[in-house]
Structure 1
Amino acid sequence: MRNWFKHLFGKKQDHFARLDSRAFPHFAPGSVWLVGAGPGDPGLMSLHAFYALGQADVIVYDALVGEEILTYANPRAELHYAGKRGGKPSPKQNDISLKLIEWAKQNKRVLRLKGGDPFMFGRGGEESETLHNAGVKFRIVPGITAGIGGLAYAGIPATHRDTNQAVIFLTGHDETGNVPQAVDWHAVATAAPVIVMYMAVKHLPSIAQKLVEGGRNPQDKVGIVSNATLPHQSLMVTQLGEAGEFVQQNEVPTPAIVVVGPVVDYAKILNWQDKD
């Protein structure tokens, strides 16, 4: 399904030549582009993101940026992994930001490549603020966030006129790796018919309990979309009151997006990949 991308841009050695640089913003030496690579499928990258990959001197990429996306990188670029995955040794955020500044001040074109969208639980705001304070020029290139695009690949609309006029996006852990303490779970529980959660599988037992205690219907459907938009994407469905036990008894692949609410039922008829 994703082969069209390589077909469109040709072989690795010439696909950047197919892009007219005059149609894109100038990626100036000494600047940093913070770019969203989308939820995984390379075809969901924006053309700005694709162009930046071919222009960058240094590429600093996250754990959710797939190897196939990196095949479109400038072959002369330095690649630096800066991924953070729960429970594993990870580079510190401050160290990443300082390296971006260092490379920019060496007059390099620095690409900070993030899965999804830089400003949706991607800490792009923090990195941009640090760059601003250091006097480094930067550009933000939005990406398709998994909480929308990943659900769509599973046939789950984040909103549907018949079910919800509001949706809540939240993260399943804070900077300490624990359930977010700053979230008013009682208020969130009934604030919108649909809740979309990033990085929530590990703490789903606790989160589900908090939502039910806050007044959420324990029979609400829960969809877990793993490896969204990739060939090995999967969807698991349970109920909120059983979600904790479900993830404890089943091996749920991660990364995953968790969605709570009536839109989960649309996967039965809107899972377009099964119709290919």
Structure 2
Amino acid sequence: MQPQGRVTLVGAGPGDPELLTLKAVKAIQAATVLLVDDLVSPDVVALASPAARIVHVGKRGGCKSTPQAFIERLMVLAAREGERVVRLKGGDPFIFGRGGEEVDHLRAAGVRVEVVNGITAGLAAVTSLGAPLTHRDHARGVVFVTGHAQQGGDAPDWRALAQAVHQARLTLVVYMGVSGAADIERQLLEVLPADTPAAIVQHASLPQQRHAVTTLAQLTATIAREHLASPSVIVIGDVLRGIAAAAIETSQARTA
């Protein structure tokens, strides 16, 4: 009989290996083949068995990327050869990680598949600032949205999102939004106040993390001034008012 392996989609979290779940660590250590995304920390990959075959299948906006169809074909072929395949993804596989597409493809091919969640960058980013995503006084919910439109697809309706944020008192978390920050800022300002707090966090949870706290009206200018770039998460909402006030006080103290 033909050997039958399995595929596990594993969320590697935002980068800090200490933020991995125990289940993720066990899956990585047991894998015989790992297909690794660009944003996965080398410290996470180092948890793999020395005997495991590691294949880097980078996918980054604006960069040369491994075709999705090729990745899916690799998973199916390796599983059919009896391998224990781990598709190692930054953050969580089901939050802007194409996990849904890959699960559908694997199931259609008759391959057993499991998903292990990871801490998504949007959560890690705001937590690293000491702020929550939800708060009984400031935010009744949170919206995760990508700022990067699929090729040939429509961009998010930022004005509609702003109305939802304002009316329902939500926190807005934007992934892959740095390159389109000017347009995001312009459309959100049609609804939201100019002094709405905003933060940009680059390399969340990693030693090289950098961030800036500002206002919506100064979002683009702050990104340019602080030389913040991808991979970054943009967070907008009243949950940031506490750290925004602290940032202003610190800035005033430095210039006094």
Q: TM-score of the superposition, structure 2-length normalised?
A: 0.88
Question: What CA distance in whole angstroms lies between the structure 1 residues aligned with 2:106 and 2:8?
Answer: 11
Question: What CA distance in whole angstroms lies between the structure 2 residues aligned with 1:243 and 1:268?
Answer: 13
- Unmatched 5+ stretches in structure 1: 1-27, 272-276
Question: What CA distance in whole angstroms lies between the structure 1 residues aligned with 2:43 and 2:17?
Answer: 7
Deviation at 1:208, TM superposition (A): 1.1
Deviation at 1:82, TM superposition (A): 1.1
Matching residue's letter, 1:188: L
Question: What CA distance in whole angstroms lies between the structure 2 residues aligned with 1:34 and 1:169?
Answer: 20
Asked if 1 retains the 8 angstrom alpha-carbon contact of 2:223 and 2:229, the reply is: no
Asked if 2 retains the 8 angstrom alpha-carbon contact of 1:155 and 1:270, the reply is: no
In structure 2, the partner of 1:13 is none
The percent identity for this pair of structures is 40
Question: What CA distance in whole angstroms lies between the structure 2 residues aligned with 1:269 and 1:212?
Answer: 20
Describe the superposition over 1:75-132 as per-residue Cα deviations: whole angstroms up to 9, x where unpaired.
1111111121221100111111111111111110100011110000100000000001
Describe the superposition over 1:191-235 as per-residue Cα deviations: whole angstroms up to 9, x where unpaired.
12310011111111111112122x122221110011111112122
Q: TM-score of the superposition, structure 1-length normalised?
A: 0.82
Residue 74 (structure 1) aligned with residue 74 (structure 2): no
Question: 194, 201, 205: which is aligned to 2:182?
Answer: 205
Residue 56 (structure 1) aligned with residue 31 (structure 2): yes
Matching residue's letter, 1:232: Q
In structure 2, the partner of 1:181 is 154
In structure 1, the partner of 2:253 is none
Question: 170, 185, 190: which is aligned to 2:163?
Answer: 190
Matching residue's letter, 2:162: A
Matching residue's letter, 1:75: P
Question: 18, 24, 33: which is aligned to 2:8?
Answer: 33
Question: What CA distance in whole angstroms lies between the structure 1 residues aligned with 2:163 and 2:157?
Answer: 11
CA distance change for structure 1 residues 71 and 270 in 2, over 3 Å: closer, same or farther?
Answer: farther
Question: What CA distance in whole angstroms lies between the structure 2 residues aligned with 1:147 and 1:139?
Answer: 23
CA distance change for structure 1 residues 212 and 270 in 2, over 3 Å: closer, same or farther?
Answer: closer
Q: How many residues align?
A: 241
In structure 1, the partner of 2:214 is 238
1:104-143 matches, within 5 Å, as: 104-143=79-118
- Root mean square deviation of aligned Cα: 2.0
Deviation at 1:29, TM superposition (A): 5.5
